[in-house]
Protein backbone atom coordinates (compact mmCIF):
# COMPACT_ATOMS: atom_id res chain seq x y z
CA UNK A 1 0.00 0.00 0.00
CA UNK A 2 1.76 3.24 -1.22
CA UNK A 3 3.01 6.05 0.89
CA UNK A 4 -0.33 7.43 2.01
CA UNK A 5 -1.55 7.90 5.51
CA UNK A 6 -4.25 5.61 6.77
CA UNK A 7 -7.25 7.11 8.53
CA UNK A 8 -6.40 6.89 12.20
CA UNK A 9 -2.74 7.78 11.77
CA UNK A 10 -3.58 11.21 10.43
CA UNK A 11 -2.15 13.68 12.94
CA UNK A 12 -4.67 16.42 12.32
CA UNK A 13 -7.67 16.50 10.08
CA UNK A 14 -8.33 19.76 8.34
CA UNK A 15 -10.33 18.53 5.37
CA UNK A 16 -13.31 20.68 4.42
CA UNK A 17 -16.50 19.71 6.26
CA UNK A 18 -18.79 19.91 3.26
CA UNK A 19 -21.85 18.65 5.09
CA UNK A 20 -21.64 21.51 7.61
CA UNK A 21 -20.61 24.08 5.02
CA UNK A 22 -23.35 23.28 2.51
CA UNK A 23 -25.97 23.21 5.26
CA UNK A 24 -24.97 26.70 6.39
CA UNK A 25 -24.68 27.91 2.81
CA UNK A 26 -28.13 26.74 1.71
CA UNK A 27 -29.74 27.97 4.94
CA UNK A 28 -28.23 31.35 4.07
CA UNK A 29 -29.82 31.03 0.63
CA UNK A 30 -33.21 30.66 2.28
CA UNK A 31 -33.68 26.89 2.09
CA UNK A 32 -35.47 25.69 5.19
CA UNK A 33 -34.99 21.97 4.87
CA UNK A 34 -31.44 20.67 5.29
CA UNK A 35 -30.25 18.02 2.86
CA UNK A 36 -30.09 14.63 4.51
CA UNK A 37 -26.85 13.04 3.39
CA UNK A 38 -26.91 9.28 3.10
CA UNK A 39 -25.65 7.49 6.17
CA UNK A 40 -25.25 3.76 6.69
CA UNK A 41 -23.78 1.69 9.47
CA UNK A 42 -22.98 -1.38 7.38
CA UNK A 43 -20.51 -1.26 4.51
CA UNK A 44 -20.96 -3.86 1.75
CA UNK A 45 -17.75 -5.50 0.57
CA UNK A 46 -16.76 -7.75 -2.30
CA UNK A 47 -13.16 -8.98 -2.40
CA UNK A 48 -11.18 -9.01 -5.60
CA UNK A 49 -10.94 -12.68 -6.47
CA UNK A 50 -8.34 -12.68 -9.22
CA UNK A 51 -4.95 -11.07 -9.75
CA UNK A 52 -5.12 -7.45 -10.83
CA UNK A 53 -3.20 -8.33 -13.99
CA UNK A 54 -6.20 -10.42 -15.06
CA UNK A 55 -8.78 -7.79 -14.22
CA UNK A 56 -10.72 -5.66 -16.61
CA UNK A 57 -11.67 -2.40 -14.93
CA UNK A 58 -14.74 -0.26 -15.31
CA UNK A 59 -14.64 3.49 -14.86
CA UNK A 60 -17.46 5.73 -13.63
CA UNK A 61 -17.47 9.50 -13.20
CA UNK A 62 -19.90 12.19 -12.09
CA UNK A 63 -18.12 14.81 -14.20
CA UNK A 64 -20.86 15.06 -16.87
CA UNK A 65 -18.35 14.18 -19.56
CA UNK A 66 -19.25 14.74 -23.20
CA UNK A 67 -17.55 14.41 -26.57
CA UNK A 68 -16.65 17.68 -28.32
CA UNK A 69 -18.80 18.48 -31.36
CA UNK A 70 -21.10 15.58 -30.57
CA UNK A 71 -24.65 15.59 -29.30
CA UNK A 72 -24.91 16.41 -25.61
CA UNK A 73 -26.89 13.93 -23.49
CA UNK A 74 -30.28 14.96 -22.17
CA UNK A 75 -29.47 16.78 -18.98
CA UNK A 76 -33.00 16.90 -17.73
CA UNK A 77 -33.53 13.16 -17.76
CA UNK A 78 -30.24 12.79 -15.87
CA UNK A 79 -29.98 9.17 -16.96
CA UNK A 80 -26.77 7.19 -16.75
CA UNK A 81 -25.00 7.16 -20.10
CA UNK A 82 -21.82 5.64 -21.46
CA UNK A 83 -19.11 6.81 -23.85
CA UNK A 84 -16.45 4.80 -25.63
CA UNK A 85 -13.25 4.41 -23.65
CA UNK A 86 -11.42 4.78 -26.97
CA UNK A 87 -12.62 8.34 -27.49
CA UNK A 88 -9.41 10.39 -27.83
CA UNK A 89 -9.00 12.10 -24.48
CA UNK A 90 -8.61 15.53 -26.05
CA UNK A 91 -12.10 15.16 -27.49
CA UNK A 92 -13.63 14.67 -24.05
CA UNK A 93 -14.67 17.54 -21.82
CA UNK A 94 -16.71 18.09 -18.68
CA UNK A 95 -19.95 20.06 -18.68
CA UNK A 96 -20.17 20.03 -14.92
CA UNK A 97 -20.76 23.38 -13.24
CA UNK A 98 -20.65 22.11 -9.65
CA UNK A 99 -16.99 22.08 -8.70
CA UNK A 100 -14.66 24.52 -6.99
CA UNK A 101 -14.15 26.82 -9.94
CA UNK A 102 -12.33 29.38 -7.81
CA UNK A 103 -9.58 26.95 -6.92
CA UNK A 104 -9.25 24.61 -9.88
CA UNK A 105 -10.42 23.69 -13.39
CA UNK A 106 -11.91 20.67 -15.14
CA UNK A 107 -9.76 21.22 -18.20
CA UNK A 108 -7.62 18.13 -17.70
CA UNK A 109 -9.94 15.15 -18.08
CA UNK A 110 -7.42 12.80 -16.46
CA UNK A 111 -7.85 14.67 -13.18
CA UNK A 112 -11.36 13.20 -12.86
CA UNK A 113 -11.41 10.39 -15.44
CA UNK A 114 -7.96 8.80 -15.34
CA UNK A 115 -8.01 7.10 -18.72
CA UNK A 116 -4.40 7.92 -19.63
CA UNK A 117 -2.81 6.51 -16.45
CA UNK A 118 -5.02 3.42 -16.68
CA UNK A 119 -4.01 2.88 -20.30
CA UNK A 120 -0.38 3.03 -19.19
CA UNK A 121 -1.01 0.48 -16.46
CA UNK A 122 -2.79 -1.77 -18.95
CA UNK A 123 0.10 -1.47 -21.42
CA UNK A 124 2.48 -2.52 -18.64
CA UNK A 125 0.32 -5.50 -17.77
CA UNK A 126 -0.56 -4.29 -14.29
CA UNK A 127 -4.23 -4.61 -15.23
CA UNK A 128 -5.74 -6.65 -18.05
CA UNK A 129 -7.48 -3.66 -19.56
CA UNK A 130 -10.43 -1.34 -19.43
CA UNK A 131 -14.08 -1.86 -20.27
CA UNK A 132 -14.98 -0.71 -23.77
CA UNK A 133 -17.00 2.19 -22.33
CA UNK A 134 -17.13 4.30 -19.20
CA UNK A 135 -20.26 5.45 -17.40
CA UNK A 136 -21.34 8.96 -16.52
CA UNK A 137 -23.66 9.30 -13.54
CA UNK A 138 -25.28 12.58 -12.57
CA UNK A 139 -24.95 13.79 -9.00
CA UNK A 140 -28.58 13.41 -7.99
CA UNK A 141 -30.42 15.05 -5.16
CA UNK A 142 -32.60 11.98 -4.84
CA UNK A 143 -30.86 9.08 -3.12
CA UNK A 144 -33.75 6.86 -4.09
CA UNK A 145 -33.10 7.64 -7.72
CA UNK A 146 -29.40 6.88 -7.31
CA UNK A 147 -30.14 3.54 -5.68
CA UNK A 148 -33.14 2.38 -7.68
CA UNK A 149 -32.37 3.67 -11.17
CA UNK A 150 -28.76 4.78 -11.63
CA UNK A 151 -26.89 2.15 -9.63
CA UNK A 152 -28.73 -0.83 -11.22
CA UNK A 153 -28.02 0.63 -14.67
CA UNK A 154 -24.30 0.98 -13.92
CA UNK A 155 -24.28 -2.60 -12.61
CA UNK A 156 -26.08 -3.85 -15.72
CA UNK A 157 -23.57 -2.18 -18.03
CA UNK A 158 -20.58 -3.34 -16.00
CA UNK A 159 -21.82 -6.93 -16.12
CA UNK A 160 -22.47 -6.65 -19.84
CA UNK A 161 -18.89 -5.41 -20.29
CA UNK A 162 -17.47 -8.19 -18.13
CA UNK A 163 -15.66 -5.93 -15.70
CA UNK A 164 -13.99 -7.39 -12.61
CA UNK A 165 -13.80 -4.19 -10.55
CA UNK A 166 -14.91 -0.58 -10.88
CA UNK A 167 -13.14 2.71 -10.21
CA UNK A 168 -15.52 5.59 -9.41
CA UNK A 169 -14.38 9.20 -9.42
CA UNK A 170 -16.64 11.67 -7.63
CA UNK A 171 -16.44 15.30 -8.77
CA UNK B 1 -21.40 8.20 -6.23
CA UNK B 2 -20.92 6.42 -2.92
CA UNK B 3 -24.42 4.96 -3.24
CA UNK B 4 -23.53 3.50 -6.64
CA UNK B 5 -20.30 2.03 -5.24
CA UNK B 6 -22.21 0.45 -2.36
CA UNK B 7 -24.75 -1.04 -4.76
CA UNK B 8 -22.02 -2.54 -6.96
CA UNK B 9 -20.28 -4.02 -3.92
CA UNK B 10 -23.52 -5.49 -2.62
CA UNK B 11 -23.97 -7.12 -6.02
CA UNK B 12 -20.55 -8.68 -6.28
CA UNK B 13 -18.37 -6.03 -7.91
CA UNK B 14 -15.37 -4.65 -5.99
CA UNK B 15 -15.02 -0.85 -6.18
CA UNK B 16 -12.69 2.01 -5.33
CA UNK B 17 -14.05 5.52 -4.88
CA UNK B 18 -11.79 8.51 -5.57
CA UNK B 19 -13.03 11.72 -4.00
CA UNK B 20 -12.32 15.09 -2.42
CA UNK B 21 -15.26 15.34 -0.01
CA UNK B 22 -14.12 13.09 2.78
CA UNK B 23 -16.95 13.75 5.20
CA UNK B 24 -19.65 12.97 2.63
CA UNK B 25 -18.11 9.71 1.43
CA UNK B 26 -17.30 8.55 4.97
CA UNK B 27 -20.80 9.29 6.19
CA UNK B 28 -22.24 7.12 3.45
CA UNK B 29 -19.60 4.45 3.88
CA UNK B 30 -17.74 2.70 1.05
CA UNK B 31 -15.27 -0.15 1.40
CA UNK B 32 -12.38 1.48 -0.48
CA UNK B 33 -11.91 5.23 -0.60
CA UNK B 34 -8.91 7.18 -1.90
CA UNK B 35 -9.18 10.71 -0.53
CA UNK B 36 -7.36 13.67 -2.02
CA UNK B 37 -7.52 16.82 0.06
CA UNK B 38 -8.06 18.90 -3.06
CA UNK B 39 -10.74 21.35 -4.19
CA UNK B 40 -13.87 19.67 -5.57
CA UNK B 41 -13.22 18.65 -9.17
CA UNK B 42 -9.95 16.73 -9.21
CA UNK B 43 -10.35 13.44 -7.34
CA UNK B 44 -7.64 11.75 -9.45
CA UNK B 45 -4.80 14.22 -9.12
CA UNK B 46 -3.98 17.80 -10.00
CA UNK B 47 -4.63 18.91 -13.57
CA UNK B 48 -1.69 18.39 -15.91
CA UNK B 49 0.33 16.45 -13.34
CA UNK B 50 0.44 12.99 -14.95
CA UNK B 51 2.87 11.50 -12.44
CA UNK B 52 0.60 12.41 -9.55
CA UNK B 53 -2.46 11.18 -11.41
CA UNK B 54 -0.83 7.85 -12.07
CA UNK B 55 0.35 7.56 -8.47
CA UNK B 56 -3.17 8.18 -7.18
CA UNK B 57 -4.67 5.61 -9.52
CA UNK B 58 -2.05 3.10 -8.36
CA UNK B 59 -2.95 3.80 -4.74
CA UNK B 60 -6.52 2.91 -5.67
CA UNK B 61 -5.36 -0.34 -7.24
CA UNK B 62 -3.32 -1.15 -4.13
CA UNK B 63 -6.47 -0.65 -2.10
CA UNK B 64 -8.38 -2.91 -4.47
CA UNK B 65 -6.08 -5.83 -3.76
CA UNK B 66 -5.94 -5.25 0.01
CA UNK B 67 -7.15 -8.36 1.77
CA UNK B 68 -9.89 -8.35 4.38
CA UNK B 69 -13.02 -6.30 4.57
CA UNK B 70 -13.75 -2.59 4.20
CA UNK B 71 -10.59 -0.50 4.38
CA UNK B 72 -10.00 2.74 6.27
CA UNK B 73 -9.91 5.89 4.15
CA UNK B 74 -6.64 6.13 2.27
CA UNK B 75 -5.32 9.70 2.26
CA UNK B 76 -3.02 10.51 -0.66
CA UNK B 77 0.35 11.97 0.35
CA UNK B 78 -0.07 15.05 -1.84
CA UNK B 79 -1.03 18.58 -0.84
CA UNK B 80 -2.88 20.98 -3.10
CA UNK B 81 -0.42 23.75 -2.25
CA UNK B 82 0.68 26.08 0.51
CA UNK B 83 -2.31 28.33 0.04
CA UNK B 84 -5.25 26.68 1.78
CA UNK B 85 -7.68 29.59 1.63
CA UNK B 86 -9.88 27.59 -0.78
CA UNK B 87 -10.87 25.47 2.21
CA UNK B 88 -12.35 28.43 4.01
CA UNK B 89 -13.84 30.07 0.96
CA UNK B 90 -15.70 27.18 -0.63
CA UNK B 91 -19.48 27.46 -0.15
CA UNK B 92 -19.41 31.02 1.15
CA UNK B 93 -21.28 34.10 -0.01
CA UNK B 94 -17.97 35.41 -1.26
CA UNK B 95 -17.64 32.42 -3.58
CA UNK B 96 -21.13 31.18 -4.43
CA UNK B 97 -20.97 27.61 -5.62
CA UNK B 98 -23.22 28.24 -8.60
CA UNK B 99 -23.69 31.77 -9.84
CA UNK B 100 -24.97 33.71 -12.81
CA UNK B 101 -25.90 31.54 -15.73
CA UNK B 102 -25.01 28.29 -13.97
CA UNK B 103 -27.31 29.12 -11.09
CA UNK B 104 -30.12 30.17 -13.41
CA UNK B 105 -29.70 26.96 -15.38
CA UNK B 106 -29.77 24.90 -12.21
CA UNK B 107 -32.94 26.60 -10.96
CA UNK B 108 -34.59 26.24 -14.37
CA UNK B 109 -33.77 22.55 -14.59
CA UNK B 110 -34.99 22.02 -11.08
CA UNK B 111 -38.33 23.58 -11.97
CA UNK B 112 -38.61 21.64 -15.23
CA UNK B 113 -37.85 18.45 -13.40
CA UNK B 114 -40.43 19.26 -10.75
CA UNK B 115 -43.06 19.74 -13.45
CA UNK B 116 -42.14 16.53 -15.25
CA UNK B 117 -42.28 14.67 -11.97
CA UNK B 118 -45.67 16.16 -11.11
CA UNK B 119 -46.90 14.99 -14.52
CA UNK B 120 -45.54 11.52 -13.84
CA UNK B 121 -43.14 11.73 -16.77
CA UNK B 122 -39.96 10.97 -14.84
Model confidence over A84-118: pLDDT tens digits? Answer: 999 999 999 999 888 988 889 999 999 999 999 99
Claim to verify: residue B53 and residue B30 sit in the same structural domain? yes
Identify which of A70-79, A133-142, B96-105, B106-115 has the greatest average pLDDT. Answer: A133-142
Is pLDDT at B55 greater than 90 in this prediction? yes
Collect all residues of chain A within an 8 Å Cβ-Cβ radius of residue B111.
none
Instruction: Say what the pLDDT of residue A137 is.
Output: 94
Strands A56-61 and A165-169, sheet pairing: parallel
Is-contact A25 B95, C-beta < 8 A? no
Claim to verify: residue B27 and residue B49 sit in the same structural domain? yes
- Its domain, for residue B8, covers 2-83
* CB spacing of B28 vs A37 below 8 angstroms: yes
Claim to verify: residue B19 and residue B79 sit in the same structural domain? yes
Is pLDDT at A2 greater than 50 in this prediction? no
Q: Which residue in A has a C-alpha nearest to residue B4's C-alpha?
A: A151
Q: Say which of B65, B69, B102 has its CB closest to residue A45.
A: B69
The pLDDT > 70 percentage for chain B reads: 97
Claim to verify: residue B39 and residue B69 sit in the same structural domain? yes
Is pLDDT at B113 greater than 80 in this prediction? no
Is pLDDT at A1 greater than 50 in this prediction? no
Claim to verify: residue B77 and residue B109 sit in the same structural domain? no
Instruction: Say what the pLDDT of residue A11 is.
Output: 53
Q: Say which of A42, A46, A112 has its CB closest to residue B44.
A: A112
Over the stretch A9-64, which tens digit does the pLDDT of each residue have? 555 678 999 999 888 888 888 888 888 888 898 999 999 999 999 999 999 999 99
Claim to verify: residue B17 and residue B77 sit in the same structural domain? yes
Query: What's the Rg (C-alpha) of chain A?
Result: 18
Number of separate domains in chain B: 2
User: What residues form DSSP beta bridges with A65?
Assistant: A94
Is pLDDT at B27 greater than 50 in this prediction? yes
Provide the residue count of chain A.
171
Q: Mean pLDDT, to the nearest integer, of A74-81?
A: 82
Q: Which residue in A has a C-alpha nearest to residue B104's C-alpha?
A: A97
Claim to verify: residue B35 and residue B19 sit in the same structural domain? yes
Instruction: Say what the pLDDT of residue A12 is.
Output: 65
- Mention every residue, 6+ apart, whose C-beta is less than 8 A from residue B102: A97
Collect all residues of chain A within an 8 Å Cβ-Cβ radius of residue B43.
111-112, 169-171
Provide the residue count of chain B.
122
Claim to verify: residue B62 and residue B114 sit in the same structural domain? no
Claim to verify: residue B51 and residue B106 sit in the same structural domain? no
Is pLDDT at B48 greater than 50 in this prediction? yes
Residue among A111, A100, A60 at smallest CA distance from B3:
A60
For residue A137, what is the DSSP state? -
Instruction: Say what the pLDDT of residue B14 is.
Output: 98
Over the stretch B57-103, which tens digit does the pLDDT of each residue have? 999 999 999 989 999 999 999 999 888 889 988 888 777 767 777 77
String of DSSP letters for A17-82: -HHHHHHHHHHHTT--SPP-----S--------S-GGG-EEEEEESS-EEETTSPPP-TTTT--EE
Collect all residues of chain B within an 8 Å Cβ-Cβ radius of residue A100.
39-41, 86, 90
Claim to verify: residue B72 and residue B109 sit in the same structural domain? no
Residue among A144, A24, A137 at smallest CA distance from A79:
A137
Tell me which residues of chain B, numbers 35 to 94, contact chain A at a CB-CB cutoff of 8 Å.
35, 37-48, 50, 53-67, 69-70, 72-77, 80, 84, 86-87, 89-93
Is-contact A154 B4, C-beta < 8 A? yes
Using pLDDT thresholds of 50, 70 and 90, give the confidence band for residue B107.
confident
Q: Which residue in A has a C-alpha nearest to residue B83's C-alpha?
A: A103
Angle between helices A115-123 and B50-64 (to 10 degrees): 70
Using pLDDT thresholds of 50, 70 and 90, give the confidence band for residue B18.
very high
Over the stretch A125-148, which tens digit does the pLDDT of each residue have? 999 999 999 999 998 878 888 999
Is-contact A154 B3, C-beta < 8 A? no
Claim to verify: residue B76 and residue B102 sit in the same structural domain? no
Is pLDDT at A159 greater than 80 in this prediction? yes
Residue among A147, A97, A11 at smallest CA distance from B100:
A97
Q: Mean pLDDT score of chain B, rounded to an integer? A: 90
Instruction: Say what the pLDDT of residue B10 is.
Output: 97
Q: Cα separation of B16 and A28, whole Å?
A: 35
Is-contact A121 B61, C-beta < 8 A? yes
Claim to verify: residue B12 and residue B59 sit in the same structural domain? yes
What predicted TM-score, i.e. pTM, was given to this entire model?
0.88
Using pLDDT thresholds of 50, 70 and 90, give the confidence band for residue B121.
confident
Mutation target to probe the B interface, by most B beta carbons within 10 A, among A25, A100, A121 is A100
Residue among A13, A141, A86, A154 at smallest CA distance from B8:
A154
* CB spacing of B4 vs A22 below 8 angstroms: no
Using pLDDT thresholds of 50, 70 and 90, give the confidence band for residue A7.
low
Tell me which residues of chain B, numbers 2 to 21, contact chain A at a CB-CB cutoff of 8 Å.
2-21
Strands A133-136 and A56-61, sheet pairing: parallel
Amino acid sequence: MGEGIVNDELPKRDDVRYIDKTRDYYRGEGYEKDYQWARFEEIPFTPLTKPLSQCRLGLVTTAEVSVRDAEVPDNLARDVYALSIDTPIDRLYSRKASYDKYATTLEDVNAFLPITPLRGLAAEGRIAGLASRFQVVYSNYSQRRSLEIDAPEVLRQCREDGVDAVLLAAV
Amino acid sequence: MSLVARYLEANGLPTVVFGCARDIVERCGVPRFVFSDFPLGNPCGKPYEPDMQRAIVEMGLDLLVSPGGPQPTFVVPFAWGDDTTWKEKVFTKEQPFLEGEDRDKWLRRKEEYRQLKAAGKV
